[in-house]
Copies of this chain bind each other. A is one copy, B any other.
């Protein structure tokens, strides 16, 4: 009996030790694989291709690749038809979807009706600047061509060059994997705002700043220069309008002082501003930003795989990972947290609907006043009110997460937008009456279709053109890109190219 016990004990010990050694070996292999890094000298060849990074950072790559899962097309014009009227005369009135995963950045830029249907490398309508936030090829091209040269010409010029979507090299140094910024305008923006440059910032700040390279308000600044062939050229340079500060009011003042106009409204003739995606500016104002939380803390939470901890590069809504995001700091149930966020969104939706309803009506009423003979001079104050109304409203909603990042600021902005729109509408009643029009009721814009009718927009020619472009020039771009080795054929095939709001029809 005693002998048997001893034997079983010894055998058990041997098994356990064996397992332990196995475990140690496995961990050692894992440790080695984690330490596998590109050499500091050469870095990663073809670093613009994210799959080249996969051998060193397999987990980060795999999670980045999962941005593909964020594939749903959400037609924001169907959801908010007043936006169609707000953007009459501007490409946004044709097509505007909520953003999908980074994986689709290049393809969605090609697909949207906003970028039109170029027929060769000189047709647009959009400038090359339009690619800026879409691809790892952009920093590459800036390095190869020069920054001003990159920002010269129409976007079609780079159709076969900008092929890899937002990926590793946009935010990481390929030699050290350290965070870095890859576009020169960003540091210029920080400096204009009097903020520390990227290099001067803390690591935690960098975990937001790399995102802010793109997730900010910007405009295309017309810049004349002489190229290497001694020819005068005009670049449209992405520029952050932060010289007076980064609040919505400060940026408004900046644009007003330089009389910047994104587009002239086709109905009201208002000199308009279009907000891009000022996520960073509004995030800074909100409580999470103030408390030093970074974008990555919630959108790229630390994740465990076996014994390895890494940052999840499937950038997504933190609500999809409440256990790894909110719950790190907040002791509450997922259900309660979802309810709280839902209420924030609901309040934003209420004020957004009110504000954009009045903004759209103000445009249409101004159009009616023009039709009735009102002069631009008579409408000057109305134009300023509408410009500011839509700017503030747009800045509040264009960053889709701002209702959460800075809920109070967003509500204040929407309230202020509505106040400006209503002031315009009060003036318009008088102006219309002066021109003999009383009780004017703006046409229906309660659906996307009705709204596009109201602004006299027929989508079909734009769709037809686009489909033709996709069958011809786009196919050519892809072929060339593969031939030039700009993209791996498998990666190119992997991106479905036909998911847009108009294909759904």
* B-binding residues in A (CB < 8 A): 287, 290-291, 332, 336, 340, 343-344, 347, 350-351, 354, 358, 407-409, 411-412, 414-416, 418-419, 422-423, 425-426, 429-430, 433-434, 438-439
Contact = CB atoms under 8 A, between A and B. Distances in A.
A365 B308 CA distance: 69
A419 B416 CA distance: 11
A344 B412 CA distance: 10
A415 B351 contact: yes
Nearest to A430: B429
Given A415-B354, A418-B418, A419-B418, A340 B429 contact: no
B287 A340 contact: yes
Nearest to A351: B415
Contacts of A332: 291
Contacts of A344: 408
Contacts of A350: 412, 416
A288 to B, nearest CB: 12
A340 to B, nearest CB: 7
A409 B344 CA distance: 9
A166 to B, nearest CB: 32
14 contacts: A291-B332, A347-B408, A350-B416, A351-B412, A354-B415, A411-B415, A415-B418, A422-B423, A422-B425, A422-B426, A426-B426, A426-B429, A430-B438, A433-B438
A332 B329 CA distance: 14
Given A415-B418, A422-B426, A409 B347 contact: yes
Contacts of A433: 429-430, 433, 438
A351 B416 CA distance: 8
B340 A412 contact: no
A88 to B, nearest CB: 22
B408 A354 contact: no
A388 to B, nearest CB: 13
Contacts of A439: 430
A419 to B, nearest CB: 5
A415, A425, A429, A439 pick with most chain B CB within 10 angstroms:
A415
A409 to B, nearest CB: 7
Q: Which 10 A-B pairs have the closest CB atoms?
A: A415-B415, A422-B422, A429-B429, A411-B411, A347-B412, A433-B433, A351-B415, A354-B419, A407-B408, A426-B426
A178 B411 CA distance: 42
Contacts of A343: 408
B412 A412 contact: no
A66 B66 CA distance: 62
A290 B337 CA distance: 11
Contacts of A414: 415
A123 to B, nearest CB: 44
Contacts of A412: 347, 350-351, 411
A351 B340 CA distance: 23
Contacts of A411: 347, 408, 411-412, 415
A188 to B, nearest CB: 29
Contacts of A422: 418-419, 422-423, 425-426
A408 B422 CA distance: 22
A409 B348 CA distance: 11
A17 to B, nearest CB: 46
Contacts of A290: 336, 340
Contacts of A416: 350-351, 354
A354 B340 CA distance: 28
Contacts of A426: 422, 425-426, 429
A107 to B, nearest CB: 37
A185 to B, nearest CB: 30
A434 B290 CA distance: 52
Nearest to A339: B290
A338 to B, nearest CB: 13
A290, A332, A408, A439 pick with most chain B CB within 10 angstroms:
A408
A412 to B, nearest CB: 5
Nearest to A347: B412
Given A291-B332, A415-B415, A419-B422, 12 more contacts: A344-B408, A347-B411, A350-B416, A408-B408, A411-B411, A411-B412, A414-B415, A422-B422, A426-B426, A429-B430, A430-B438, A433-B433
Contacts of A425: 422, 426
A341 to B, nearest CB: 12
Contacts of A408: 343-344, 347, 407-408, 411
A422 B426 CA distance: 8
A430 B439 CA distance: 8
A418 B290 CA distance: 29
